[in-house]
């Protein structure tokens, strides 16, 4: 009598397992990883109003070759034609009202007509909770993941 009860409970508990909820928009994001995935999805979809809404007024974009302020960075993102992207080796740290997200991103597509590197790029973003919601205050590309 106890074995059928145990099996029934085991089967019922399996019904309560939820599948992963993919982040499709910024409103779906519940942490640093979700914010980052929503950002890259918005860039891929060329939803520039949403991208712009989530960049802080004092946003800074740093690469090994140059540092861009908000307007220049937005123009740079607008030059991206992303067919697909993948994020790995992700780490998120929260400190009060900010997330620091480090990861490796592989972009497939072009920027300024040039193909993105085949190797994953090490990146870091800083997200801050402000009155209007979460905004990215800094993003940096540190170099390839093999460096």
pLDDT tens digits for range 74-101: 999 999 999 999 999 999 999 999 999 9
Question: Residue 78 domain-assigned?
Answer: yes
- DSSP string across 1-18: -HHHHHHHHHHHHHTTPP
Question: Residue 41 domain-assigned?
Answer: yes
Residue 127 has pLDDT above 90, yes or no: yes
Cβ atoms of 104 and 123 closer than 8 Å: yes
Provide the domain limits for residue 52: 21-144
Residue range 110-125: mean pLDDT, rounded: 92
Using one digit for the tens of pLDDT, what is the confidence trace for 30-63? 678 899 999 999 999 999 999 999 999 999 999 8
Residue range 89-114: mean pLDDT, rounded: 93
- The tokens 């998120």 sit on which residue? 92
Question: Residue 9 domain-assigned?
Answer: no
Q: What is the pLDDT of residue 55?
A: 97
Residue 143: pLDDT band with limits 50, 70, 90: confident
Number of domains in the chain: 1
pTM score, whole prediction: 0.79
Question: Residue 105 domain-assigned?
Answer: yes
Question: Residue 8 domain-assigned?
Answer: no
């Amino acid at each position: 009598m106890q074995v059928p009860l145990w099996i029934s409970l085991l089967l019922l508990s399996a019904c309560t397992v939820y599948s992963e909820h993919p982040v499709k928009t910024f409103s779906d994001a519940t942490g640093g990883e979700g914010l980052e995935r929503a950002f890259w999805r918005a860039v891929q979809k060329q939803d520039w109003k949403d991208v712009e809404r989530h960049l802080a007024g004092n946003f800074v974009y740093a690469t090994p070759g140059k540092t861009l302020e908000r307007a220049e960075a937005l123009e740079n993102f607008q030059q991206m034609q992303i067919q697909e992207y993948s994020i790995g080796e992700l780490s998120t740290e929260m400190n009060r009202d900010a997330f620091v997200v480090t990861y490796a991103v592989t972009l497939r597509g072009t920027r300024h007509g040039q193909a993105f590197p085949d190797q994953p790029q090490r990146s870091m973003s800083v997200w801050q909770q402000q009155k209007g919601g979460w905004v990215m205050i800094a993003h940096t590309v540190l170099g390839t993941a093999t460096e």
